[in-house]
Amino acid sequence: MKTFLQLREAKSKMPPGQHVFDTKLKGTEIMIHKHRGKFQLYIDGEKLDDFSKMDAAKKAGEEFVKAAKE
């Protein structure tokens, strides 16, 4: 029987829009895509929020991972 993590990884593909940034922080993947004039933040392939500036999206992603890993 497949685990939830295996199912989620099998489903994952690149989100819509232009891929502009990605990094790994504490084992968590952070991606930012530009779609329709907004910067969309993805944590481990799941959309977190839209931002008007890329720097704000980077900062929010780093803060989210740091808070979640404490």
pLDDT in tens, 11-65: 667 788 899 999 999 999 999 999 999 999 999 888 999 999 999 999 999 999 9
| pLDDT number for residue 66 | 93
Q: Please indicate, yes or no, whether the overall pTM of this predicted structure exceeds 0.85.
A: no
pLDDT tens, residue by residue, 31-42: 999 999 999 999
CB of 38 within 8 A of CB of 53? Answer: no
How many CA within 13 A on the CB side of residue 8? 7
Inter-CA distances, 16 with 2, 32, 34, Å: 27, 11, 8
CATH superfamily membership of 20-68: protein ne1242 domain like (3.30.1880.10)
